[in-house]
Amino acid sequence: MLDIAVIEDPAAAEASLDPIRSTILRELAEPASATQLAVRVGLPRQKVNYHLKSLERHGLVELVEERRKGNVTERVLQATAASYLISPTALASVSPDPRRFADRFSAFWLLALAGRMVQEVGKLIAGAATARQKLATFAIDGEITFRTAAERAAFAEELGVAVTQLVDKYHDAGASSRGRRHRLVVALHPVLKPSPETSHEPATKEQGHD
């Protein structure tokens, strides 16, 4: 089982978004039969089997083992991944094109870049799994609080300069270079505020700087 699988097929994406099937996928983080699932999700076994066949057809669940019980063969299945992401490829005709929003201050460009990352890394993971090789990636995730919008802008400017210097230092621009190309994406965006349902802290009024 993969930790995360990226869904590229539109039909598979549609199947995964069905509320019942997404519940079944969650339950199949551990192997189970249709009979066991029926008890967990509160549906007739025949209906669970119908959804399982669709999920299996789209490669979202896989057969783990078959158990013989009298004249009946019980099939035990498991989800092919613990979590799923839907690639922009599944909506190719309307997926965002990073070239269209090429503005480093555009939130739409950030989304387009994120969508492209899901698409590309998803394919790389699939290829690496098929080849039984490790995929070399690197990521940094953190939070920073700025006192003012001016400080945020200054940070972004300095970060851009520092990244550009590193790229100039290590990038092999030779025409005969046989090195592997890598994509570099650096992003900065506000952290989502907790919703009233998930936050137990009293709401406070924040002063904006923009």
Domain residue spans of the chain: 2-84, 96-170
CATH code, 2-84: 1.10.10.10
Q: How confident is the model at residue 36 (pLDDT cuts 50, 70, 90)?
A: very high
Instruction: Round to the nearest angstrom and report the end-to-end CA distance of the chain.
Output: 46
Number of alpha carbons in the 13 Å side-chain half-sphere of residue 168 = 6
Which two structure tokens, joined as six digits, stand for 71? 């004249």
pLDDT at residue 175 in the model: 64
Residue 77 neighbours by CB under 8 Å, 6+ apart = 28, 31, 32, 33, 52, 56, 61, 62, 63, 64
CA–CA dist 109, 127 (Å, integer): 27
The Cβ of residue 16 has, within 10 Å, a number of other Cβ atoms equal to: 20
- This model's pTM is above 0.85: no
**pLDDT tens across 42-83, in order?**
999 999 999 999 999 999 999 999 988 788 888 999 999 999
Task: Please indicate whether residue 192 or residue 20 has the higher confidence score (pLDDT).
Answer: 20
Q: What is the mean pLDDT of residues 103-129?
A: 87
Least confident range from 126-130, 146-150, 175-179: namely 175-179
Q: Where are the alpha helices (DSSP H) in the chain?
A: 10-17, 19-27, 34-41, 45-57, 107-131, 149-170
- For residues 66 and 77, the answer to whether their CB atoms sit within 8 Å is no
Q: How confident is the model at residue 88 (pLDDT cuts 50, 70, 90)?
A: confident
pLDDT at residue 210 in the model: 39
Looking at residue 198, what DSSP letter applies? T
**pLDDT tens across 120-143, in order?**
898 898 888 888 898 999 999 999
